[in-house]
């Protein structure tokens, strides 16, 4: 028996959620097996250092059917009772297909995991983040885990590196091309810091001011729907019920009132900093720190002070 984690990479980097899942898996059961598609030895090393006992490499390239076929074959071979995937576009794309192959329950967008491999207790946001549900699931189970929701814990133990020649099978749809829109320099769902702007920014000409703060902090740029609907910034930056869901360590909301539909996309951030000139704005109800002031005064000061500290 084992617990299988399907890792995700971006270029040469292992996505942080991959390490988060490996560390979380150790609390549920052992051994922890990580499946790494087209990964490097350095990425495998990162998985070991976060808690993997075994890393299985596959050279199959991405398709929903292909990844599901390989992950199912590895799960069967390793007798995995639970499979963890990132709650990313890719993970969501093949989680259902994989669950069907393994005759497993699928639970999506989980932020908390405890219990054992036989009976896992999962916590996940429901009703657009207005409440959390606790779900107890018997194995086999396929679970997608929200990025930035788990701690990465350092681990050192025996390391077994394997390769699998499990085939992708018949693939009827394959990703042909990605037309990157530009967008934020740091990807929103993976960012550990997000700086987001709303209608309080007053116009598109003021978003570069937020981007400058993002650059200093290594943060991703986000926005409210009001800013997107006004045509000030691309929809790819929208956070909320009809945009992206993020759970960074720190979310800095600038000129955002904190409507429930916006909170649905960022309410599980660890620290929320709100900058708003209206002390009664609802965002302050969820904020860890609040600055009641004009963002056009505050943001440049933050940028220059962080520059001094961070270089």
Ligand X SMILES: Cc1cc2nc3c(=O)[nH]c(=O)nc-3n(C[C@H](O)[C@H](O)[C@H](O)COP(=O)(O)OP(=O)(O)OC[C@H]3O[C@@H](n4cnc5c(N)ncnc54)[C@H](O)[C@@H]3O)c2cc1C
Q: How far is the CB of 193 from ligand X (least distance, A)?
A: 18
Binder to ligand X among 189, 243, 267, 290 (CB under 6 A)? 243
Round the CA-based radius of gyration of the chain to a whole number and report it. Answer: 20
Binder to ligand X among 281, 286, 287, 302 (CB under 6 A)? 281
Q: Does 19 sit near ligand X (CB under 6 A)?
A: no
Q: Does 189 sit near ligand X (CB under 6 A)?
A: no
Binder to ligand X among 45, 97, 199, 307 (CB under 6 A)? 199
Q: How far is the CB of 184 from ligand X (least distance, A)?
A: 16
Query: Taking contact as CB under 6 A, which single stretch among the options 51-59, 76-84, 142-150, 234-242 is the one that binds ligand X?
Result: 234-242
Q: Does 276 sit near ligand X (CB under 6 A)?
A: yes
Q: Does 242 sit near ligand X (CB under 6 A)?
A: yes
Q: Does 29 sit near ligand X (CB under 6 A)?
A: no
Query: Taking contact as CB under 6 A, which single stretch among the options 83-91, 159-167, 168-176, 219-227 is the one that binds ligand X?
Result: 219-227
Q: Applying CB under 6 A, which residues contact ligand X?
A: 198-200, 224-227, 238-243, 255-257, 259, 261-262, 265, 275-278, 281, 294-296
């Amino acid at each position: 028996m084992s617990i299988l984690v399907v890792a995700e990479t971006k270029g040469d980097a292992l996505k942080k959620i991959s390490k988060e899942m490996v560390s979380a898996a150790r609390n549920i059961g052992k051994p922890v097996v990580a499946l790494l598609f087209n990964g490097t030895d350095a990425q495998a090393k990162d998985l070991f250092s976060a808690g993997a006992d075994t890393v299985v490499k596959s050279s199959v390239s991405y398709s929903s059917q292909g990844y599901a076929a390989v992950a199912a074959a590895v799960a069967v071979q390793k007798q995995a009772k639970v499979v963890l995937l990132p709650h990313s576009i890719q993970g969501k794309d093949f989680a259902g297909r994989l669950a069907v192959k393994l005759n497993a329950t699928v639970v999506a967008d989980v932020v908390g995991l405890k219990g054992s491999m036989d009976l896992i207790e999962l916590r996940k946001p429901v009703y657009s983040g207005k409440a959390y549900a606790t779900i107890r699931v018997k194995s086999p189970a396929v679970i997608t885990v929200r990025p930035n929701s788990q701690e990465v814990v350092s681990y050192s133990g025996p390391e077994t590196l394997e390769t699998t020649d499990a085939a992708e099978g018949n693939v009827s749809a394959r990703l042909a091309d990605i037309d990157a829109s530009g967008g934020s320099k740091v990807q929103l769902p993976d960012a550990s810091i997000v700086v987001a702007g709303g209608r309080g920014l007053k116009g598109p000409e003021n978003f570069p001011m937020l981007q400058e703060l993002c650059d200093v902090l290594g943060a991703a740029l986000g926005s409210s729907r009001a800013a997107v609907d006004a045509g000030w910034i691309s929809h790819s930056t929208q956070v909320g019920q009809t945009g992206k869901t993020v759970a960074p360590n720190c979310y800095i909301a600038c000129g955002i009132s904190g409507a429930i539909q916006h909170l649905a996309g960022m309410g599980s951030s660890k620290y929320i900093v709100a900058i708003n000139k209206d002390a009664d704005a609802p965002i302050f109800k969820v904020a860890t720190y609040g600055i009641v002031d004009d963002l056009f005064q505050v943001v440049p000061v933050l940028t220059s002070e962080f520059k001094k500290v961070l270089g």
